[in-house]
Structure 1
């Protein structure tokens, strides 16, 4: 039997198709591109690095032209429903080059392992391990597992995490873990930006459809079950529904500044606003801000990267990183 005859086990269009033999077909995603010694648009340098051999985690690191003498670092988690896209893709690289240039920061974009071959919580654990590896450079030294761009140029008093969509969900859960467990060498996360965060739940919020059967067919619902089939509570687990009664208090977020970005046409918008309000009302003691871009859709600043709104929004993120 040829590949065209393989039986489909799960299909979440237009994103992903999983076959009964375990093979996976990713139907979306930007092409993979190499790093650049000097990006033509921004002058930012990038290279690919190994964070860990076991588990296998890699990253693309970006160095701005000016490092005077040390600059902030952003540890970034890409979007893609935990199951597609890459830190090495064209659109992610375009975004990271611009962010590194405009904010004058080192950016480390993490290539975590994807579901469903590597179901959650593997992605969460990979991102946590990567962040811990980054901050472990703060004690100096130049061992074989150290990355010179991190050791030499990063100001560890200005550590940021960020992500879009599923990457923003990853960032939120990393912040909760940092708040409860702490980071290597006592490093603190100064700030975080969560753009169009992937949160969901069984009960409708705001303008979401109230139709129970229709809700179960939405990609926001079906993707979570594909990527984390064993999780307690399903779509109401606190990792995807952080405002569910009984969830850990958002007062425990392990950062001192937070920016939540939402977009007018994004079906996740109302969840993002609810999350932002819940953080403010939780007793969390940091500074928070909400950036709501009217008339734009999910991840517009990455997917429609040459639009004026995309450029303005990336500038807004850059001005948040101080």
Structure 2
């Protein structure tokens, strides 16, 4: 009797405190993340409309699309932002309440069309699946596969953007754009790399003091990409590592890198920006930093004064070249 009970006991085999637990029966318990919510036509607060679309059934890729207030559109074509959500590659969703609230505010301020991609998550589907899903979503947009895009989207002003893990995806998709052609001759005009989740095997800045190998960023990469060659110096997580391709291969002409003064990954973002500037990349790079704020503060609460400043900076970047 006791041996049977012992054999069936559910035990934790892996845990990143406050983030995730994996059990010996294979189940995954995500300890953060907000509930799913439905899309809305004409959100009562912002006037932004959203709808859900299927990009692929195999693999399963979908997106939530956002359209600015109809009074703002006035029959004008507006930029298209293909957005990749954050969440350390293993939690959150394009359909979550947090991201719905954030992207509604983002679209309200920037007045652009957003295609927020729902990519597959680790550990059920380890990396590099998320990168491939986001690349396929970008190709779907370039194929002009939706009526909102055809009617209102300016395909000469296609941007990619994301926060944290999503910003990591932006960089990697941007590098892929530099070597592969998108459908219908569409090009990525600009990229927003916001509070990027980059890391490496050697600590930089305050990482040496804060405990590099004990950090959450260190443990997350082992969790989401357990078999990736090079570990923390894999080019997917360390774009400045010795095995990474030259940054002059970025496939866009405008780049905005954002960080925050108290972001634990601040030095990685600044180093990335400086490396892009020093490379032979022919585009225009900008750095924007918010004082006294932490990692992705603007996503967690987009209604603060500093969050609004950041969204206004996004708007300036997205609309400056119209």
TM-based fold match above 0.5 = yes
Mean Cα displacement is larger for which, 262-271 or 59-68? 59-68
Give aligned pairs, total. Answer: 311
Match of 2:155 in 1: 156
Q: Aligned to 2:286, what secondary structure does the other structure show?
A: strand
CA separation in 2, counterparts of 1:319 and 1:281?
A: 24
Q: Hey, what does 2:240 align to over in structure 1?
A: 243
What residue ranges of structure 1 are gaps of 5+ in the alignment?
138-145
TM-score (norm 2): 0.94
Correspondent of 1:47 among 46, 51, 62: 51
Aligned partners of 1:72, 1:150: CA distance in 2, in Å? 10
- Cα distance in 2 between the residues matched to 1:172 and 1:202: 19
Maintained 8 Å contact 2:262/2:295: yes
Alignment of 1:1-322 (within 5 A): 5-65=9-69, 66-67=72-73, 68-137=75-144, 146-210=145-209, 214-322=211-319
Deviation string 1:177-229 (CA, Å, 9 cap, x unpaired) is 00011211221111110110000011111121258xx4222110111111111
Q: Which residue in the other structure is 1:140 paired with?
A: none
Alpha-carbon offset, residue 88 of structure 1: 0.9
* Cα separation, 1, equivalents of 2:18 and 2:264: 16
The CA distance in 1 between the partners of 2:302 and 2:111, in whole Å, is 19
Q: CA separation in 1, counterparts of 2:294 and 2:301? A: 10
Cα displacement (A) at 1:153: 1.3
CA distance in 2, matches of 1:227, 1:241: 15
2:233–2:243 Cα contact (<8 Å) kept: no
Counterpart CA distance in 2 for 1:162 and 1:10 is 31
SS of match in other structure, 2:157: strand
| Residue 70 of structure 1, CA deviation | 1.3
User: How far has the Cα of 1:55 moved from its partner?
Assistant: 1.1
SS at 2:151 equivalent: helix
The runs of 5 or more residues in structure 2 that have no matched partner are none
- The Cα shift of 1:121 comes to 0.6
Deviation at 1:89, TM superposition (A): 1.2
Q: For the Cα contact (< 8 Å) 1:91–1:305, is it kept in 2?
A: no
Structure 2 Cα separation of the partners of residues 74 and 5 of structure 1: 47
